[in-house]
């Protein structure tokens, strides 16, 4: 009770900063500014409570909420940040069209928080941080140009590989915004999804190299039944591209199964992967433009689990990271009654996925 009273008095002075949003459940406050969130965090610290932070860009789905549940199982308080970070989008990328669904995100979190309330021993979602650009970048909104000015955190060479090879500012933006979020929330633990494997490795490296006092926890990739990894961008796929989009997980699973059968060479493991995506693409190309969904393979990688450097042979004491990215191209010859997804099938959709190949004795 003492805790509730203290925090409530804290959040009264916070209420000015949450204009536009109310504390949507008795337990949860939506913060837009840093000082009130810091004040709240300090209250929690004094109470020996622990904070698990789940950074997100909103448009929440089960992948995000699984991390929230994991954080609630391991901490007394869960902080969820919702911020579409402009600096991780390149100049020609989809920042402007990235889905923003704050109201429904808040509702989803509210529902989960109610469930957590009735789960014995579980933490609760006590803070949602939904800042604007000026709050996150108080001096200067840094440019998305590669040589743009601004205060950045860079983690190289990791950030230049795989996703970074075609998205050169992406991980600079991720590392920069996560540093800010970690400084603002000072979480005991931070929660990231395995779905973005390179991000997990970069965050671990960042926490280690900058001596950030938090523990990095990774939650499993959540998938649709047919294997497609959940992603906020899937809303753009529409029925035709959605059906073909499973090619990425199938490609990776074929490579995984080659490894599990005992193969370790790059040619054998990635050969199994290539057979799947090439066959799918060939079949799509044979279809009429009104029926097909074409894609480009950006990369399929077999890499060292620590450095993400490409490897020729899997070191069985370490295992490896199998990962891939494809671009689903805009649909051709859209049909009037076709379910085309958000953006009418015109938005190219980048899908990424990965599987960890486990070490074996
Ligand atoms: P995002 O909002 O896309 O920046 O993602 C926020 C967090 O959710 C990141 O740590 C992601 O790795 C994680 N995430 C996104 N999709 C999934 C998924 N399908 N399964 C598990 N975690 C995910």
The 10s digit of each residue's pLDDT in 281-297 is 999 999 999 999 999 99
**Nearest alpha carbon, ligand 1 atom 17:** 63
Same domain, 300 and 194: no
Give the position, in ligand 1's atom list, of the atom nearest the Cα of 222.
20
Q: For residue 11, how far is its CA from the centre of ligand 1 (angstroms)?
A: 29
| Domain annotation covers residue 99 | yes
- The number of the ligand 1 atom at minimal distance from the alpha carbon of 232 is 3
Burial class (CB in 10 A: 0-12, 13-18, 19+), 357: buried
Please compute, for residue 246, the number of CA atoms within 13 A of its CA located in the half-sphere on the CB side: 9
How high does pLDDT run on average in the chain?
92
- 147 in the same domain as 274: no
Question: What value does the mean pLDDT take over residues 51-60?
Answer: 98
The C-alpha atoms of residue 309 and residue 158 are separated, in whole angstroms, by 8
Q: Write the CATH number for 149.
A: 3.40.50.620
Q: What does the pLDDT read at residue 148?
A: 87
Q: What is the pLDDT of residue 26?
A: 61
Residues 82 and 113 placed together within one structural domain of the fold: yes
- For residue 85, report the distance from its CA to the centre of ligand 1, in Å: 14
Q: Among 61, 64, 211, 263, which one carries the catalytic annotation?
A: 64
For ligand 1, atom 11, which residue shows the shortest CA distance? 193
Burial 96-133 (b: 16+ CB within 10 A, else e): eebbeebeebbebbeebbeebeeeeebbbbbbbbbbee
Of 96-100, 293-297, 340-344, which range is least confident?
96-100
pLDDT value of position 103? 96
Is residue 4 in a domain? no
Q: What is the pLDDT of residue 27?
A: 82
Q: What is the pLDDT of residues 296-335, one digit of tens each?
A: 999 999 999 999 999 999 999 999 999 999 999 999 999 9
Same domain, 176 and 296: no
Q: Is residue 13 part of a domain?
A: no
Other beta carbons within 10 Å of 274: 15
Q: What's residue 187's pLDDT?
A: 98
Cα(347)–Cα(72) distance, integer angstroms: 36
Of the candidates 42, 34, 102, 32, the one whose C-alpha atom is nearest the C-alpha of residue 77 is 42
Give me the residues paired with residue 53 across strands: 79, 190
Alpha-carbon distance 323 to 306, whole Å? 14
Q: How many CA atoms lie within 13 A of 149 on its CB side?
A: 2
- The Cα–Cα gap between 156 and 187 comes to 24
Where is the domain boundary, 196, 219, 242?
219
Based on the structure, what is the number of domains in the chain? 2
84 located within any domain: yes
For atom 8 of ligand 1, the residue with the nearest CA is 64
Shared domain check, 245 and 130:
no
Ligand 1 centroid–CA 139 distance in Å is 28
Could you give the CA distance from residue 265 to residue 313 in angstroms, rounded to a whole number?
Answer: 4
Q: Please check whether residues 215 and 250 belong to one and the same domain.
A: no
Q: Among 157, 184, 219, where does a domain finish?
A: 219
Is position 227 within any domain?
no
CA distances from 150 to 93, 130, 141, 182 (A): 19, 22, 7, 19
Q: Identify the residue whose C-alpha is closest to ligand 1 atom 12.
A: 193
271 lies in some domain: yes
211 is catalytic: no
The residue whose CA has the least distance to atom 10 of ligand 1 is: 192
Q: Do residue 132 and residue 67 come from a single domain?
A: yes
| Last residue in a domain, options 191, 219, 247 | 219
CATH code where residue 288 lies: 3.30.1300.10
Which of the two residues, 172 and 91, has the higher pLDDT score? 172
Q: What is the pLDDT of residues 106-145, one digit of tens each?
A: 999 999 999 999 999 999 999 999 999 999 999 987 788 9
pLDDT band at residue 3 using 50, 70 and 90 as cut-offs: very low
Strands 29-31 and 77-82: unpaired
Q: In terms of domains, do 213 and 72 share one?
A: yes
pLDDT tens per residue, range 235-281: 999 999 999 999 999 999 999 999 999 999 999 999 999 999 999 99
The average pLDDT across 200-226 equals 98
Residues lining ligand 1, Cβ inside 6 A: 56-57, 63-64, 66-67, 192-193, 195-196, 219, 221-222, 229-232
Q: Are 10 and 39 in contact (CB under 8 A)?
A: yes
Q: Which atom of ligand 1 is nearest to the CA of 59?
A: 2
What percent of the chain shows pLDDT beyond 90? 88
User: Are 318 and 207 part of one and the same domain?
Assistant: no
Query: Which ligand 1 atom is at minimum distance from the Cα of 231?
Result: 16
Structural domain including 345 reads 234-357
Q: Is residue 270 part of a domain?
A: yes
> What separation in Å is there between the alpha carbon of 171 and the centre of ligand 1?
15
For residue 228, being part of any structural domain is answered with no
Q: By the 8 A CB rule, do 139 and 151 touch?
A: yes
| 213 and 255 both lie in a single domain | no
Same domain (yes/no): 105, 130: yes
Q: Do 35 and 173 fall within a single domain? A: yes
pLDDT of 10 strictly over 50: no
Which pLDDT value is given to residue 173? 97
């Amino acid at each position: 009770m003492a805790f509730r009273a203290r925090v409530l008095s804290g959040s009264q002075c916070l209420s000015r900063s949450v204009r536009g949003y109310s504390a949507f459940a008795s337990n949860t406050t939506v913060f837009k500014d840093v000082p009130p969130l810091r004040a709240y965090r300090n209250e929690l610290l004094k109470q020996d409570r622990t904070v698990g932070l789940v950074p997100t860009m909103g448009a929440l789905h089960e992948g995000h909420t699984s991390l929230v549940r994991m954080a609630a199982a391991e901490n007394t308080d869960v902080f969820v940040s919702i911020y579409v970070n402009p600096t991780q989008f390149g100049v020609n990328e989809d920042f402007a069209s990235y889905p923003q669904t704050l109201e429904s995100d808040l509702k989803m979190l509210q529902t989960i928080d109610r469930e957590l309330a009735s789960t014995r021993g579980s933490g609760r979602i006590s803070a949602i941080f939904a800042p604007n650009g000026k709050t996150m970048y108080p001096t200067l909104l840094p440019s998305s140009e590669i040589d743009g000015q601004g205060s950045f955190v860079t983690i190289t060479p990791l950030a230049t590989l795989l996703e970074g090879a075609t998205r050169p500012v992406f991980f600079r933006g991720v590392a920069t915004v996560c540093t800010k979020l970690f400084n603002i929330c000072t979480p005991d633990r931070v929660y990231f999804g395995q779905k973005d494997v390179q991000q997990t490795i970069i965050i671990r490296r960042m926490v280690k190299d900058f001596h950030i006092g938090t523990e990095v926890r990774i939650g499993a990739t959540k998938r649709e039944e047919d294997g497609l990894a959940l992603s906020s961008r899937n809303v753009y796929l529409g029925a035709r591209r959605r059906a073909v989009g499973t090619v990425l997980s199938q490609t990776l699973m074929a490579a995984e199964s080659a490894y599990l059968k005992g193969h370790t060479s790059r040619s054998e493991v990635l050969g199994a992967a290539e057979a799947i995506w090439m066959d799918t693409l060939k079949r799509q190309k044979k279809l009429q433009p009104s029926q097909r969904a074409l894609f480009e393979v950006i990369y399929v990688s077999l890499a060292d689990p620590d450095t993400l450097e490409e490897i020729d042979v899997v070191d069985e004491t370490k295992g490896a990271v199998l990962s891939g990215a494809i671009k689903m191209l805009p649909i051709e010859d859209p049909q009037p009654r076709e379910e085309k997804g958000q953006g009418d099938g015109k938005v190219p959709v980048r899908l990424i996925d990965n599987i960890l190949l486990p070490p074996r004795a």
